[in-house]
Structure 1
């Protein structure tokens, strides 16, 4: 393929990245300039003394939200992909139904129920919501990892082994790269879901973007609820569009 044919494709791929940056810009503007929208929120809550959530800075809440989701997602990726790799090896195939059922059970249990069970053991704070998000985010990763690894043509395995590759080399250099788009699609679903679910952490003392929502519900302040929901929505759109472009780039 000529260089002239490749260059337009690369340029078009780069141009597709404008949307995640637009969402990111809107998210940062909303975090830093929420107070400038006081007139809008005053219209929503004309009788409230305060219409802008001020107990914590919005950039701080955003950072805490990202930290919780990031840690839980990283653990879910390691556990989910690792479990899928193990049960697709000859020595682990007997455990495939058990892994699939465990992952399904994690998403069947409501995060609120997981939090209620985790708090007496782990206490209040960040750890219970990380556990809840980890369990809740496993299913899409495990399911897609299994689909990606099991969907590889056996002839590709035979060709790789025929070239003298060890089982570890086949996994690292052939299977995981081929399954990566499907695995990333599962990670995208898991992370996007957990961005919204992480707001429940505010109910157990894990400060994040759920704080304004919970405070708004407790105090009957719709403006607080809208502020938290707006930031969580913009964050979800930023991350989801970034994953979409990453999958398209591949």
Structure 2
């Protein structure tokens, strides 16, 4: 395996690892995003066993010991399995996550105390780059779920939203909804709940120009329209599971 590096927006680099053994024959990508600035941030640490691979890839972009922030969508192996390995090589780095994630997992599991982010709180990376933390509980899964929006480039770091199989281009302007629907059909990974569509539509209000997917190609275009379409599909799925909700 190797980590492919692509710049998907100004100062945002996608470090992508394709694993053909997952969901064959298409395989499955694990994407990690480095946001450069005076205080660089890594979104998704990667699986613990992928750490040497990702460490080498990140070192091609900057000295790993300069990392200042480590964040991810929720507490799960592919999102934060190598969290403590990164903390060990970056002595000034802090894990930054929402209140729920810190309370239920990170206060104990992180080798250094995490920075607790309130819903809507902004992290300044320097060089004009601002990241806003947004709580998204149970969306797509995990009580502690949350994402980051780079307000400077309009890039939404989506975590597991729009998950899909395959090893496509780093950045696309094509359809991501159809493959995401197929991915949900394949994996059934989302925690369907009555607030899911509304939560995703709240993200659309930020009108992102780039959607940085953890599993699949990043998308450049009308991010709000893509999010509204994804919310509609989850509403459809929820209604299909709740026949009584359709009764007049």
Regarding TM over 0.5, the answer is no
Structure of larger gyration radius? 1
Relative to its length, the structure with more strand (as a share) is: 2
Which structure is richer in relative contact order (CA contacts within 8 A, separation 6 or more)?
A: 1
By percentage of residues, which structure has more helix? 1
Tell me the TM-score normalised to structure 2 length.
0.25
